[in-house]
A and B are shown apart, each in its own frame.
Chain A
């Protein structure tokens, strides 16, 4: 049953050094507040999983939290590079990060397989791509019925998943609306899960086919208003496209990034 905790306590309890962590949200509902809390608590040696690392993982990688990264598209959407990710991969700053690179189709299937409790995902994928030559997590199997050669990747089974959603009711049931990405799969695939929400309401007012995650399938819920900023929360606030553009200059330079981190994460409180 979901327990209502402060974001500080939820991260302190469930995110351990060395853990495999998925923080999902496909451009939408990216759990920035949770990411900043992980940085503030100085978590180290994390294996970070996200289809699109986005600014949130650029920040975690630049802050030195990551040992490995499993991903499928590592850019600043609509802007360009993730400079902290590039600095780690190209120059090993603040330290080397090992990368395991997939396609979106494979990652999406791997999350789904994780939620389904399977050890692997099978897809018609990677045909002719050279990604399998640099990622030994991509293999092939033969369909036992047709003989077709299909790609196989290990399912995603994170120690802990963190997602952001619009709202929870008082029993901890969560409603996710808009672009729902792989958030539900991330929660169900994980050993432990933390959901941050914009608000807690009496009634979710969800339709019968809405994306609702039952409270008994979640470990912790923390209220984090504007917790997805500078990404957006459908129905609450828009994406701050200007910040995404500004991030290019902030993240390009190590010192500028460090100052930003001090001002906006380390010295920006958080909730005890």
Chain B
């Protein structure tokens, strides 16, 4: 059965599939939150979603606009203080996967959400780190999802807010009590994974209809492709239906609020 879908839907559905049922996931706001909730509403009903506002095991009916929406608290198993969330649940090693977005990413999966330009005289000031710096190091592994473009996929990030593997790919080596770091990056064009040795990102799967050149043109460094390059499975009818319902519900809810 063929389904019409957008590249944004392709990205969200693919990102959702990365989450396995029963995983404990510390969720970033925006695209990661959309993907994590789609996973929960489709193949992973027992995925445990945690947001940094302290909401533990939350099951929002609509996507939150902010990380601390009332919806997250009302649908959570319990809500803890923010220090407890970061100290016991994240630093304590209870999180399998951190799901993050970013403004910039480089070949070693370092993330920049701090600024464009120089720190003392920024061209563009971005919001900053939030929970990400410790989510990326304390969670068992990290999934990253963002739209693919030369603006976001840069040769070297202007600032490492959040560690991927460092400027040389080796910063995690020998550090005790640290997670595996990024294990996959999902964009609207492809899926990438770090090379097991060098930690440099490698394209492992192209979305249907996307060419190597499309990815090369949207990436700020000479991107490598896996020898066994796969084609990402297309979204099925149910995944698309659930995603569209979720987004429509969300839009109605946020538009209807006075």
Complex CA distance for A130 and B159, rounded to whole angstroms: 7
A252 at the interface (CB under 8 A from B): no
Q: List 20 A-B contacts (CB under 8 A).
A: A27-B69, A28-B68, A28-B70, A75-B127, A75-B128, A81-B125, A89-B122, A90-B124, A104-B130, A108-B83, A108-B87, A123-B86, A125-B134, A128-B137, A129-B161, A148-B177, A181-B53, A241-B66, A242-B257, A242-B258
B23 at the interface (CB under 8 A from A): no
Complex contacts, B171 vs chain A, CB 8 Å: 127-128
Cβ of A86 and Cβ of B125 under 8 Å apart? yes
Cβ of B69 and Cβ of A239 under 8 Å apart? yes
Complex CA distance for A78 and B72, rounded to whole angstroms: 14
Cβ of A28 and Cβ of B122 under 8 Å apart? no
A74 at the interface (CB under 8 A from B): yes
Cβ of B91 and Cβ of A124 under 8 Å apart? yes
Complex contacts, B83 vs chain A, CB 8 Å: 108-109, 111-112, 182, 185
Complex contacts, B60 vs chain A, CB 8 Å: none
Cβ of A180 and Cβ of B54 under 8 Å apart? yes
Complex contacts, A103 vs chain B, CB 8 Å: 129-134
Complex contacts, B29 vs chain A, CB 8 Å: 77-78
Complex CA distance for A71 and B125, rounded to whole angstroms: 14
Complex contacts, A85 vs chain B, CB 8 Å: 125
Complex contacts, B70 vs chain A, CB 8 Å: 28, 178-179, 232, 234, 238-239
Provide the main secondary structure of the chain A interface.
Answer: loop
- Interface residues in B113-166 by Cβ distance below 8 A to A read 114, 119, 122, 124-134, 137-138, 159-163, 166
Complex contacts, A232 vs chain B, CB 8 Å: 70
Contacts A26-B54, A238-B257, A240-B258 hold; do A51 and B68 have CB atoms under 8 A apart? no
B18 at the interface (CB under 8 A from A): no
Partner of A81, one of B110, B127, B176: B127
5 tightest A-B CB contacts, nearest first: A27-B68, A128-B163, A75-B127, A77-B66, A78-B65
- Interface residues in B65-100 by Cβ distance below 8 A to A read 65-70, 72-73, 79, 81-83, 85-87, 90-91
Complex contacts, A123 vs chain B, CB 8 Å: 86-87, 91, 134
Cβ of A124 and Cβ of B138 under 8 Å apart? yes
Q: How many interface residues does chain A have, given as a range?
A: 35 or more
Encode contact with B along A24-54: 1 for CB under 8 Å, 0 otherwise: 0011100000000000000000000001100
Partner of B82, one of A26, A89, A134: A26
Closest-CB distance, B221 to chain A (whole angstroms): 19
Closest-CB distance, A181 to chain B (whole angstroms): 5
Partner of A104, one of B129, B255, B258: B129
Cβ of A148 and Cβ of B176 under 8 Å apart? yes
Cβ of B81 and Cβ of A104 under 8 Å apart? no
Complex CA distance for A71 and B159, rounded to whole angstroms: 17
B254 at the interface (CB under 8 A from A): yes
Closest-CB distance, B139 to chain A (whole angstroms): 12
Cβ of B91 and Cβ of A89 under 8 Å apart? no
Encode contact with B along A89-127: 1 for CB under 8 Å, 0 otherwise: 110000000000111110011011000000000011111
Q: Which of B68, B70, B90 neighbours the largest number of chain A CB atoms within 10 Å of its CB?
A: B68
A257 at the interface (CB under 8 A from B): no
Complex CA distance for A73 and B67, rounded to whole angstroms: 11
Which residue of chain A is the closest to B138 with respect to CB atoms?
Answer: A124
Complex contacts, B133 vs chain A, CB 8 Å: 103, 105, 125-127, 129, 131
Complex CA distance for A30 and B124, rounded to whole angstroms: 26
Contacts A124-B177, A127-B137 hold; do A72 and B129 have CB atoms under 8 A apart? yes
